[in-house]
Amino acid sequence: MPSPAIHGILLAAVIMAISRGSLATQEVVDRIVARVENDVILLSEVRALGRYQQFLDGKSESSDQILDRLIDQWIVRTEADASHSPRPSEADIDRGLSRVRNSFASEQEYQAGMKQAGLSEPDLRAQVASQLYLG
């Protein structure tokens, strides 16, 4: 019969093998791509702005350009927050969404563009609200 030390070693080896296998199948969902003062910009934010650009313009900037834009937006947002600039009203956001919707030839084209860009109505609403706030 194996000694308790060997049992411990075998148990540790099995645990390591199991955990290593599960780590290999894990996927990175989000990560920090930049730090600005005490804040961070996430990869998901870069992707979200890229999808919004794709939806509006049929193309998006490179990830580096989008990151630069997000850093600029962070600066503007920080200044707007510090000066207590008013947030856009729901009516302002609705008008902004209407302008976006009216830039498409039809509702079907609008919906197809959102689907192709991977945007939902709440995603689009959040982007429009952000753009209105940033001026």
Domain map (residue ranges) of the chain:
28-134
pLDDT at 9: 52
pLDDT at 5: 53
Tell me 58's DSSP state: S
User: With DSSP H G I counted as helix, E B as strand and the rest as coil, what are the percentages for the chain, rounded to 5?
Assistant: 70, 5, 25
Q: How many residues does the chain have?
A: 135
pLDDT at 7: 47
> For each of the chain's 135 residues, which pLDDT tens digit applies?
555 555 445 444 445 555 555 455 667 689 999 999 999 999 999 999 999 999 999 999 999 999 999 999 999 999 999 999 999 999 999 999 999 999 999 999 999 999 999 999 999 999 999 999 998
User: Do 88 and 96 touch, CB atoms closer than 8 A?
Assistant: yes
pLDDT at 29: 82
Angle, helices 107-117/90-102, rounded to nearest 10 degrees: 100
CA dihedral 75, 81, 85, 90 (to 10 degrees): 100
Burial of 30 (0-12, 13-18, 19+ CB in 10 A): exposed
CA distance 94 to 78: 24
CA distance 76 to 99: 23
From residue 76, alpha-carbon distances to 42, 51, 116 in Å are 18, 21, 30
Tell which CATH classification among 1.10.230.10, 1.20.1290.10, 3.20.20.480, 1.10.4030.10 matches the domain 28-134. Answer: 1.10.4030.10
pLDDT at 12: 46
